[in-house]
Structure 1
Amino acid sequence: MSRAVLKKDDETGFNSFYHNKSTVLQEARVFNESPISPRRCRALLSQIVYLLYVGETFSTQEATTLFFGTTKLFQHKDSALRQAVYLAIKELATTAEDVIMVTSSIMKDMQPNSEVIYRPNAIRALCRIIDPSMAQGVERFFKAAIVDRNPSISSAALVSSYHLFPAAKDVVKRWANEAQEAVNAKSTSSFFGSGSSGSGYLGFGASSQANNTNLPITSSSYITQYHALGLLYLIRQQDRMAITKMIQQLGGGKSGAGSTLKNAMALCMLIRYAAKVVEEDPNVQRQIVELLEGWLRHKSDMVNIEAARAICEMKSVPPQSLTKAISVLQLCLSSPKSTLKFAAIRTLATLAQTQPASVASCNVEMEHLISDPNRGIATYAITTLLKTGTEASVDRLMKQISGFMSEISDEFKVIVVDAIRSLCLKFPSKQASMLTFLSGVLRDEGGYDFKRAVVEAIFDMIKFISECKEQALSHLCEFIEDCEFTKLSVRILHLLGVEGPKTPQPAKYIRYIYNRVVLENAIVRAAAVSSMGKFGVNVDDPSVHKSIKVLLSRCLEDVDDEVRDRAAFSLKVLDNKPLQETYIKEESVFSLSALESSLVAYVKDETAAEQPFDVSSIPKISREQAAKETARPSSLDTIGIPSSSNSRTVSPAPQTAAETQSAYAQQLAEVPEFADYGPVLNSSSKPAQLTESETEYQVSCVKHIFKEHVVFQFNVSNTMPDTVLEQVSVIMQPQAESGLTEDFIMPLPSLMQSTSPGIVYVSFTRDTPEEYALASFQCILKFISKEVDPVSGEPEEEGYEDEYQLEEVELASGGDYIIPTYASFASEWDRLRSGPHATETFALSAMESIKAACTSIVEILNMEPLGGSENPTSTSVHTLQLSGLVIGGGGKVLVRCRMSFASSTGVTLELAVRAEKQESCNLVIAAIGG
Structure 2
Amino acid sequence: MIKKFDKKDEESGKTGVYVFQRLTCCLQARIFNETPINPRRCLHILTKIIYLLNQGEHFGTTEATEAFFAMTRLFQSNDQTLRRMCYLTIKEMANISEDVIIVTSSLTKDMTGKEDVYRGPAIRALCRITDVKVLCFQFCVDLVLLETLQHMVKMSYDVVKRWVNEAQEAASSDNIMVQYHALGLLYHLRKNDRLAVTKMLNKFTKSGLKSPFAYCMLIRIASKLLDETEGGHDSPLFDFIEGCLRNKNEMVVYEAASAIVHMPNCTARELAPAVSGYYLTLISFLKARFFPRLTQFVAMKHPSAVTACNLDLENLITDSNRSIATLAITTLLKTGSESSVDRLMKQISSFVSEISDEFKVVVVQAISALCQKYPRKHSVMMNFLSNMLRDDGGFEYKRAIVDCIISIIEENPESKETGLAHLCEFIEDCEHTVLATKILHLLGKEGPRTPQPSKYIRFIFNRVVLESEAVRAAAVSALAKFGAQNDDLLPSVLVLMQRCMMDSDDEVRDRATFYMNVLQQKQKALNAAYIFNGLSVSIPGLEKSLHQYTLEPTEKPFDMKSVPLVTTPITEQKTEIAPVATSKLPEKLAPSRQDIYQEQLASIPEFQSLGPLFKSSDPVQLTEAETEYVVRCIKHTFARHMVFQFDCTNTLNDQLLQKVVVQMEPSEAYEVEHYIPALSLPYSQPGSCYTLIRLPDDDPTAGRNSGVSTAAHTLRWESNGCRSHPESSQTKLWSSLGRSRR
TM-score range, shorter chain: 0.7 to 0.9
Greater fraction of residues in strand: 1
1:806 aligns with 2:737: yes
Give the C-alpha shift of residue 250 in structure 1: 1.9
Residue of structure 1 equivalent to 2:646 = 714
- The one of 607, 616, 636 equivalent to 1:674 is 607
Cα deviation digits, residues 34-56 of structure 1 (max 9, x gap) = 667479959989x98xxxxxxxx
Give the C-alpha shift of residue 516 in structure 1: 3.2
Asked if the contact 1:728–1:781 (Cα under 8 Å) also holds between the matched residues in 2, the reply is: no
Q: Give 3-state SS (helix, strand or coil) of 2:369's partner.
A: helix
Q: More deviation in 476-485 or 287-296?
A: 476-485
Q: Residues 173, 550 of structure 1: CA spacing in aligned structure 2 closer, same or farther, 3 A cutoff?
A: farther
Asked if the contact 2:660–2:717 (Cα under 8 Å) also holds between the matched residues in 1, the reply is: yes
Give the C-alpha shift of residue 796 in structure 1: 4.2
Q: More deviation in 231-240 or 72-81?
A: 72-81
Residue of structure 2 equivalent to 1:64 = 57
Partners of 2:153 and 2:487 in 1: how far apart?
Answer: 71
Asked if the contact 1:462–1:469 (Cα under 8 Å) also holds between the matched residues in 2, the reply is: yes
Residue of structure 2 equivalent to 1:244 = 198
Q: More deviation in 505-514 or 295-304?
A: 505-514
2:678 is matched by which residue type in structure 1?
L
- The one of 424, 447, 469 equivalent to 1:522 is 469
Asked if the contact 1:708–1:769 (Cα under 8 Å) also holds between the matched residues in 2, the reply is: no
Partners of 1:673 and 1:634 in 2: how far apart?
Answer: 29
1:565 aligns with 2:519: no
Partners of 2:20 and 2:81 in 1: how far apart?
Answer: 20
Partners of 1:713 and 1:554 in 2: how far apart?
Answer: 57
- The one of 283, 289, 314 equivalent to 1:367 is 314
Asked if the contact 2:342–2:380 (Cα under 8 Å) also holds between the matched residues in 1, the reply is: yes
2:240 is matched by which residue type in structure 1?
L
1:292 aligns with 2:241: yes
The 5 A counterparts of 1:305-454 are 305-317=254-266, 321-332=270-281, 334-338=282-286, 340-454=287-401
Cα deviation digits, residues 144-170 of structure 1 (max 9, x gap) = 4xx433445443444444444444445
1:148 is matched by which residue type in structure 2?
C
Partners of 1:249 and 1:519 in 2: how far apart?
Answer: 73
Partners of 2:350 and 2:188 in 1: how far apart?
Answer: 48
Asked if the contact 1:692–1:698 (Cα under 8 Å) also holds between the matched residues in 2, the reply is: yes
Partners of 1:525 and 1:64 in 2: how far apart?
Answer: 63
Partners of 2:718 and 2:510 in 1: how far apart?
Answer: 64
Cα deviation digits, residues 582-612 of structure 1 (max 9, x gap) = 2211265222133345557778999x98797
Partners of 2:396 and 2:102 in 1: how far apart?
Answer: 53
Partners of 1:765 and 1:267 in 2: how far apart?
Answer: 56
Greater fraction of residues in helix: 2
2:371 is matched by which residue type in structure 1?
C
Partners of 1:415 and 1:662 in 2: how far apart?
Answer: 34
1:685 aligns with 2:617: yes
Give the C-alpha shift of residue 287 in structure 1: 0.5
Give the C-alpha shift of residue 517 in structure 1: 3.5
1:114 aligns with 2:110: yes
Q: Give 3-state SS (helix, strand or coil) of 1:589's partner.
A: coil
Give the C-alpha shift of residue 803 in structure 1: 0.7
Partners of 2:361 and 2:89 in 1: how far apart?
Answer: 43
Asked if the contact 1:785–1:802 (Cα under 8 Å) also holds between the matched residues in 2, the reply is: no
Q: Residues 487, 83 of structure 1: CA spacing in aligned structure 2 closer, same or farther, 3 A cutoff?
A: farther
Q: Residues 484, 223 of structure 1: CA spacing in aligned structure 2 closer, same or farther, 3 A cutoff?
A: farther
1:155 is matched by which residue type in structure 2?
L
Residue of structure 1 equivalent to 2:579 = none
Give the C-alpha shift of residue 394 in structure 1: 0.9
Q: Residues 783, 388 of structure 1: CA spacing in aligned structure 2 closer, same or farther, 3 A cutoff?
A: same
Asked if the contact 1:461–1:468 (Cα under 8 Å) also holds between the matched residues in 2, the reply is: yes
Q: Residues 513, 696 of structure 1: CA spacing in aligned structure 2 closer, same or farther, 3 A cutoff?
A: same
Gaps of 5+ in 1: 1-21, 49-57, 131-136, 189-221, 636-653, 812-930
Partners of 2:85 and 2:494 in 1: how far apart?
Answer: 77
Partners of 2:711 and 2:350 in 1: how far apart?
Answer: 67
- The one of 458, 482, 485 equivalent to 1:511 is 458
Residue of structure 1 equivalent to 2:6 = none
Residue of structure 1 equivalent to 2:95 = 100
Q: Residues 121, 463 of structure 1: CA spacing in aligned structure 2 closer, same or farther, 3 A cutoff?
A: farther
1:797 aligns with 2:729: no
Give the C-alpha shift of residue 769 in structure 1: 5.8
1:357 is matched by which residue type in structure 2?
S
Give the C-alpha shift of residue 446 in structure 1: 3.0
1:223 aligns with 2:172: no
Asked if the contact 1:683–1:702 (Cα under 8 Å) also holds between the matched residues in 2, the reply is: no
- The one of 751, 754, 759 equivalent to 2:681 is 751
2:561 is matched by which residue type in structure 1?
V
2:605 is matched by which residue type in structure 1?
P
The 5 A counterparts of 1:880-919 are none
Q: Give 3-state SS (helix, strand or coil) of 1:113's partner.
A: helix
Cα deviation digits, residues 376-397 of structure 1 (max 9, x gap) = 2222222112111111111111
Residue of structure 2 equivalent to 1:232 = 186
Q: Residues 522, 319 of structure 1: CA spacing in aligned structure 2 closer, same or farther, 3 A cutoff?
A: closer
Q: Residues 171, 365 of structure 1: CA spacing in aligned structure 2 closer, same or farther, 3 A cutoff?
A: same
Instruction: Give the RMSD, CA atoms, in angstroms.
Output: 4.3
Q: Residues 297, 786 of structure 1: CA spacing in aligned structure 2 closer, same or farther, 3 A cutoff?
A: farther
Give the C-alpha shift of residue 62 in structure 1: 4.1
Give the C-alpha shift of residue 469 in structure 1: 1.4
1:149 aligns with 2:104: no
Q: Give 3-state SS (helix, strand or coil) of 2:344's partner.
A: helix
Q: Residues 108, 419 of structure 1: CA spacing in aligned structure 2 closer, same or farther, 3 A cutoff?
A: farther
Partners of 2:46 and 2:493 in 1: how far apart?
Answer: 75
Asked if the contact 1:718–1:751 (Cα under 8 Å) also holds between the matched residues in 2, the reply is: yes
Residue of structure 2 equivalent to 1:880 = none
Q: Residues 42, 508 of structure 1: CA spacing in aligned structure 2 closer, same or farther, 3 A cutoff?
A: farther
Q: Give 3-state SS (helix, strand or coil) of 2:595's partner.
A: helix
Give the C-alpha shift of residue 783 in structure 1: 3.5
Residue of structure 1 equivalent to 2:226 = 278
Instruction: Using the aligned pairs only, state the percent identity.
Output: 40
Q: Give 3-state SS (helix, strand or coil) of 2:673's partner.
A: strand
Q: Residues 749, 623 of structure 1: CA spacing in aligned structure 2 closer, same or farther, 3 A cutoff?
A: closer
Give the C-alpha shift of residue 85 in structure 1: 8.1
Q: Give 3-state SS (helix, strand or coil) of 1:808's partner.
A: coil
Q: Give 3-state SS (helix, strand or coil) of 2:643's partner.
A: strand
Asked if the contact 1:239–1:720 (Cα under 8 Å) also holds between the matched residues in 2, the reply is: no
1:149 is matched by which residue type in structure 2?
F
Q: Residues 43, 747 of structure 1: CA spacing in aligned structure 2 closer, same or farther, 3 A cutoff?
A: closer
Residue of structure 1 equivalent to 2:580 = none
Q: More deviation in 438-447 or 568-577?
A: 568-577
TM-score, length basis structure 1: 0.65
Cα deviation digits, residues 466-493 of structure 1 (max 9, x gap) = 1111111222222233333332222222
Asked if the contact 2:108–2:122 (Cα under 8 Å) also holds between the matched residues in 1, the reply is: no
The 5 A counterparts of 1:112-261 are 112-114=108-110, 116-118=116-118, 120-121=120-121, 138=130, 140-141=131-132, 144=134, 147-182=135-170, 184-188=171-175, 222-251=176-205, 253=206, 258-260=207-209
- The one of 608, 612, 615 equivalent to 2:561 is 615
Partners of 1:173 and 1:551 in 2: how far apart?
Answer: 79
Residue of structure 2 equivalent to 1:771 = 700
Asked if the contact 2:537–2:563 (Cα under 8 Å) also holds between the matched residues in 1, the reply is: no
Give the C-alpha shift of residue 267 in structure 1: 1.8
Asked if the contact 1:106–1:122 (Cα under 8 Å) also holds between the matched residues in 2, the reply is: no
TM-score, length basis structure 2: 0.80
Q: Residues 89, 804 of structure 1: CA spacing in aligned structure 2 closer, same or farther, 3 A cutoff?
A: farther
Gaps of 5+ in 2: 1-14, 32-37, 576-584
Asked if the contact 1:452–1:488 (Cα under 8 Å) also holds between the matched residues in 2, the reply is: yes
